[in-house]
Every structure is written in C-alpha cells, then in structure tokens.
Amino acid sequence: DVQLVQSGGGLVKPGGSLRLSCVASGFTFSSYLVNWVRQAPGKGLEWVSSISATSGYIYYADSVKGRFTISRDNAKNSLYLQMNSLRAEDTGVYYCSSGTRLDHWGQGTLVTVSS
C-alpha cells in the first residue's frame, strides 16, 4: 500500500522557521513528482509547491516564493519543506501528496504561527 507519513510542524513565532518531512513507501518515490498542499483553518485547499522526480523542476505558489524551499532525498524516499520567515497566514494543515495528479496524500501536519 502507498503511504505518505508526515512529521514536523508545531507552534512557531512569526518570523521563525520550521521544516516539514514526508516519508513515502509503497511506490517508486524517485519516479514521481511530489507536492505540498496546505489548508488554513476552516478554509479550502491551496497548492504550495511541487518538485519533479529528479529535482530538476521546482514550482512555488507566489504566496511562499522566496520563503519556502522544497527538496527531496530519493535515497531516503523523503520530501521536505523548509519554511522560513513564517507569517500568521501560513497557519494551517500541510499535506504532502504524490504524483502530478495528486494520487495519494499524507495525514497532514499542523503548523501554527503565533506569538
């Protein structure tokens, strides 16, 4: 079975940093583009970032460009999101998702940016 297990997240002050991780199993991780999607409390889904299979192509939403960095380690079947200069509006649940068509999703991890 495909699994995406997330970790990281938590409470951080505005301007702080946090790193999210997502470990994949059950499929050939190194062959797939992977994504981060977030959801503010009580709101809809917002695409955040995607990285191609070999990290050759990286995309960001304008709302996080220059502050967030997506990366992956195919040897560890892992996806990361380094979040710097965090703002209150970055608060929400962050999901990792596999594939161009967002085939499978992680369990989500809550990020709270508050003083």
Partner 1 sequence: DVVMTQSPLFLPVTLGQPASISCTSSQSLVYSTGNTYLMWFQQKPGQSPRRLIYEVAIRDSGVPDRFSGSGSGTHFTLKISRVEAEDVAVYYCMQGTHWPRTFGQGTKLEI
Q: What distance in Å separates the CA atoms of residue 86 and residue 104, rounded to the nearest whole number?
A: 27
Please pick, from the candidates 62, 66, 75, 115, the single residue that binds partner 1 as defined by CB under 8 A: 62
Please pick, from the candidates 50, 68, 70, 111, the single residue that binds partner 1 as defined by CB under 8 A: 50
State yes or no: residue 1 binds partner 1 (CB under 8 A): no
Please pick, from the candidates 29, 32, 80, 95, the single residue that binds partner 1 as defined by CB under 8 A: 95
**105 phi-psi bin (left φ>0, alpha ψ -120 to 50, beta other):** beta
Q: What distance in Å separates the CA atoms of residue 30 and residue 13, rounded to the nearest whole number?
A: 34
Q: Which residues bind partner 1 (CB under 8 A)?
A: 35, 37, 44-47, 50, 59-62, 95, 100-108
